[in-house]
Chain A
Amino acid sequence: MSETSKIEIRSLRKSFGSNEVLKNINLDVVKGGVVALIGPSGSGKSTLLRCINLLVVPDGGSVRVGDTRFAFGDGSKLPDVRTLANFRATTGMVFQHFNLFPHMTTLQNVMEGPVTVRRMAKADAETLARAQLAKVGLAEKADQYPATLSGGQKQRVAIARALAMEPDVMLFDEATSALDPELVGEVLNVIQQLASEGMTMVIVTHEIAFAREVADRLIFMRDGVVVEEGPARQVIDNPKEAATRAFLSHFHRTGALPPATTAS
């Protein structure tokens, strides 16, 4: 497993003060795999996601993405600022609240990573950025500021911004939770398209029907531990654990994706 896996997490632990948020988590994502992380709020799924690109620094265990591995805990030194930055450049992340840069146009948002981090020439970065914007269906919004976009459009720009770094893996932190219901579909469509192109992804989501459709593996977390794990459809349709069943009973588990309003 570990030879083919793109992301490998071993015995991961994290506490905030006395609150133990992650207790001995193991996770493997194969190359091109899509893993959905579900669970009630406070279960640690967002923290786990943020440990993958080290936005949150774990207290113990190890994180490997591609060929880069970090160990944490007794005796291991925290990676320095430069190492961390280089590592994060290879992982794309999409946030619940978009976190677009409001002082830059859509195009400048997408160019920012390639120009500042990769030191790419402006002209090349612009070509790349325009291509990424076209991919998420927002080519014509290039010169607008984020404030003028809808939530769904903002999130698609945020995805384009992450993709412009040509990351090995993409991490989605409740990417549709802050959106109006009618805007969820357009963002999920983009994520689904990425999945079909073979992007390795970890998706924290409350869209159970979407997880069932797009993810090949599903992990249900509660109170900082993995309660149940398996093929997405199997876990959603026939959960083994009582806690998983209880959680899933709050959702419509099947059915089509929310209708996608055509990219606009």
Chain B
Amino acid sequence: MYQWDFGILWTYRWLFLNGLGVTVGFTVVIVVCGLLFGLLGAFGTLSRFKPLRLLALAFIEAFRCTPILVQLIWFYYALPILAGVEMTPITASALALSLYGGSFYSEIIRGGIISIDKGQSEAGAALGMTPGQTMRRIVLPQAIKRMIPALMNQSIIQFKNTSLVSVLAVPDLVYQSQVAAHDSYRPLETYTAVAVAYAAILIPLTILVRRGEKRLAVSE
């Protein structure tokens, strides 16, 4: 029977905290940038101009249909050779994860927008609103409510996907725990603690979102 000893992890507390900071900071960056890419992708696919539609579709499918681990490695090792763009591991992984997340966000945002009854934009148009005004005032406020659960879900996946940046030696929580595990010869305790840390952050968040959803549903 294995003798658990979680006490040993206390020695590495600053390492873990550092890693956690990087992980959380990384998530904030890739969620914000990902949503931005997602918005661009969604409006691209809904555009009246065919070239823009095709471009957005190409972006979405390229990132949605290839593994994120491959994308990370490709952005860091292949892009410098092909395009001559030299990137730090942090920039490369932030970009890859943002674009990867953005491709999924695009589909969520597009789906939310087209789920709003056509009569709503007709009513806006009939009042004399421009398509932009109708989108901002009428469609998006309703669509966002419907998108929130799916956007949150994708953001949770994004949070966990940051663990992959350790392959590019970005010092996130997983990378630091590898260091700790090699040093302490206690991988079981280390990785259990890491799993608990991820869950401890995500579970309160999901509860918060569930509450928010209920509050939003009242005004419908």
Chain A: CB-nearest residue to B141: A103
Decide yes or no: A117 and B129 within 8 Å by CB, A95-B119, A101-B138, A147-B220 being known contacts.
Answer: yes
A260 within 8 A of B: no
Contact residues, B113-128 vs A (CB, 8 A): 117, 119-120, 122-123, 125-128
Task: Select which of A102, A103, A145, A165 is within 8 A of B128 by beta carbon.
Answer: A165
Q: Measured between alpha carbons, how far is A53 from B125 in the docked complex, in Å? A: 9
Q: Within 8 Å of chain A (Cβ to Cβ): is B111? A: no
Q: Are B119 and A89 in contact (CB under 8 A)?
A: no
Verify if A252 is at the interface (C-beta below 8 Å from B): no
Contact across chains for B125 and A55 when beta carbons are under 8 A apart: yes
Q: Does A41 contact B (CB under 8 A)?
A: no
Q: Is the CB of A89 within 8 A of B122?
A: no
Interface residues of B in 100-151 (CB under 8 A from A): 117, 119-120, 122-123, 125-131, 133, 137-138, 141-142, 145
B126 touches A88 (CB 8 A): yes
Are B220 and A116 neighbours in the complex by a CB distance under 8 Å? Answer: no
B219: interface (CB < 8 Å): yes
Q: Assess the A99–B122 pair: CB atoms within 8 A.
A: yes
A92 to B126, alpha carbons, bound, how many Å?
Answer: 7
Binding stretch for chain B, among A60-68, A78-86, A209-217, A239-247: A78-86
Q: Are A99 and B128 neighbours in the complex by a CB distance under 8 Å? A: no
Provide the bound-state CA to CA distance between A100 and B123, in Å: 8
Q: Which of B128, B137, B141 contacts A89 (CB 8 A)?
A: B128
- A176 CB contacts on chain B under 8 angstroms: none
Q: Which residue of A lies closest to B133 (CB)?
A: A116
Give chain B residues whose Cβ lies under 8 Å from the Cβ of A174: none
Contact partner of B126 (CB less than 8 A), chosen from A53, A82, A145, is A53
On chain A, the residues within 8 Å of B123 by CB distance are 93, 95, 99-101, 158
> What separation, in Å, do the CA atoms of A45 and B1 have in the docked complex?
82
Chain B residue at smallest Cβ distance from A86: B128
Contact residues in A for B138 (Cβ distance below 8 Å): 101
User: How far apart are the CA atoms of A93 and B128 in the complex, in Å?
Assistant: 10
Q: How far is the CA of A82 from the CA of B132 in the complex (A)?
A: 10
Q: Give 1 or 0 for each of A44-73: 1 = CB within 8 Å of chain B CB.
A: 000000000101000000000000000000
Bound Cα distance from A55 to B119, whole angstroms: 11
Specify which of B122, B129, B142 is in contact with A103 (CB 8 Å cutoff).
B142
- Residue among A81, A89, A99, A162 with max Cβ neighbours from chain B (10 Å): A99
| Contact in complex: B128, A117 (CB < 8 Å) | yes
Give the CA-CA distance A115 to B123 in the complex, in Å: 15
Complex Cα gap A99–B125 (Å):
11
Residue on A nearest B127 in the bound complex, by CB: A113
Q: Does A91 contact B (CB under 8 A)?
A: yes
Q: Are A95 and B120 in contact (CB-based, < 8 A)? A: no
Instruction: Give 1 or 0 for each of A118-158: 1 = CB within 8 Å of chain B CB.
Output: 00000000000000000000000000010100000000001
Cα(A82)–Cα(B137), bound, Å: 17
CB <8 Å contact, A82 and B141: no
1/0 contact string of B21-44 vs chain A (CB within 8 Å): 000000000000000000000000
B142 lies within 8 A of A85 (CB): no
- The distance from the CB of A105 to the nearest CB of chain B, in whole angstroms, is 9
A81 and B130 within 8 A (CB): yes
> 9 tightest CB-CB pairs across the interface, nearest first?
A89-B128, A99-B123, A99-B119, A93-B126, A113-B127, A117-B128, A88-B128, A85-B130, A103-B141
B positions within 8 Å CB-CB of A: 117, 119-120, 122-123, 125-131, 133, 137-138, 141-142, 145, 219-220
For this complex, 29 residue pairs linking A to B, each with C-beta atoms less than 8 Å apart, are A53-B126, A55-B122, A55-B125, A55-B126, A81-B131, A82-B130, A84-B125, A85-B129, A85-B133, A86-B128, A90-B128, A92-B126, A93-B126, A95-B119, A95-B122, A95-B123, A99-B117, A99-B119, A100-B123, A101-B120, A101-B142, A102-B142, A112-B127, A113-B127, A113-B129, A116-B129, A117-B127, A158-B123, A162-B127
